[in-house]
Amino acid sequence: MRILITAGPTREYLDDVRYLSNASSGRMGFAVAAAAVAAGHEVVLVAGPVALKPPQGCHVVSVETTEEMGRACVEAFCDCDGVVAAAAVCDYRPLCRHEGKLTKTGEAVSIEMIETDDVLATLGAGKEGRFVVGFALEASNAREGALQKLRAKNCDAIVLNGPEAIGSEVNSIELIDISGSVVASWDGPKSELARCLIEWIDQRWSGR
């Protein structure tokens, strides 16, 4: 199969030097990409800014903002059999990006924020016969939040994990399928979890 994988954070700029982002390392997405290549799949890896060396054998598309990630994913998805969306995209961006660099004034600063485009929901809405596996990082009411994301974004399965996954080399995840049932749970190094996830995807969708 040819699989689209997203990884890492995105950035939304306040001015020409400052941005909003998150602490995602990209390790999980890169591990999924490496596992997919090892299993014999073609991989398109759309990655936000991370300090990681891409796995060998991937076609890598480097992006920075959520808008850039969305465009790259929509373009790549047309030629793929499915997507594993592990990226931690910014949900909001400043309504206005200031030119140059904001300087201190001694006064409080208010920044109006608007939602970014939802990359995963866009892919889910246009998936047709392709599979969509999302990731949900939830801090409270975790399973309920993951189920809402599964349905709202038209995913076929979703990987649930928590804030402790950020920047870590290990993780603890639950895999929830379209029925809303937990079909697998895995703990350990992200490389091993990625291998298990790709094996599950292979069993479900390979050879369709």
- C-alpha closest to that of 159 among 130, 126, 190, 202: 190
State the Cα–Cα distance between residues 173 and 8, nearest whole angstrom: 17
How many whole angstroms from its chain centre is CA 194?
13
| Catalytic machinery residues | 22
- C-alpha closest to that of 193 among 177, 180, 174: 174
User: Who's near 140: CB < 8 A, 6+ residues apart?
Assistant: none
State the Cα–Cα distance between residues 90 and 87, nearest whole angstrom: 10
Phi-psi region of 183 (alpha: psi -120 to 50; beta: other; left: phi over 0): alpha
Return the biggest CA–CA distance within the chain. 62
